[in-house]
Amino acid sequence: MKIFLDANVLVAVLNKEYPLFTYASRILSLSDSKRFQLFTSPICLAIAFYFAEKKTGTMVAGKKIAVLVSHLKIAPVSRDAVLKTIANKQISDFEDGLEYYSAVDSGCEVIITEDKGDFYFSGIEVVGCREFVERGIF
């Protein structure tokens, strides 16, 4: 299963934000399983770095991002994703559109985010961390 992780999931792990950390870290542990491929976008990584840097400083945030990236696949933000976002009149938040089309173009089956409402236009499933973990597919 291909899973796209939104920035807020990454931030919860990098900054150990409870109670979300409990669920988000379990989802990240799926990277050790051959049954799952975890994706995120460069945009999500930039957002996660920004919030980690505010909490821990540049050096520590950089190390945390490096460890995180070693467990994830990076979904490209292509020109096509940009054009699809612009063309989709349902999308009001450009960043969310770019993340969505990055996920779709990478073949992701689900987007995990704590801001499910941001992806109201999604053609693929959108779930929160707790909801995903409680499915028990580990």
Residue 41 has pLDDT above 80, yes or no: yes
Please tell me the distance from the alpha carbon of residue 115 to that of residue 61, in angstroms, as a whole number: 23
Residue 136 has pLDDT above 90, yes or no: no
pLDDT in tens, 55-70: 999 999 999 999 999 9
Partners of 125 in the β-ladder:
110
**Domain ranges for the chain:** 2-134
3-state helix, strand, coil in the chain (%, to 5): 55, 10, 30
pLDDT in tens, 86-119: 999 999 999 999 999 999 999 999 999 999 999 9
Please tell me the distance from the alpha carbon of residue 27 to that of residue 113, in angstroms, as a whole number: 11
Those residues with Cβ within 8 angstroms of residue 47's Cβ, 6 or more apart along the chain or in another chain:
7, 10, 11
CATH of 2-134, one of 3.50.50.60, 3.30.70.580, 3.40.50.620, 3.40.50.1010: 3.40.50.1010
Contact assessment for residue 40 and residue 71, using Cβ atoms and an 8 Å cutoff: no
DSSP 29: G
**pTM value > 0.85:** yes
Contact assessment for residue 88 and residue 123, using Cβ atoms and an 8 Å cutoff: no
The one-letter code for the residue type at 126 is V
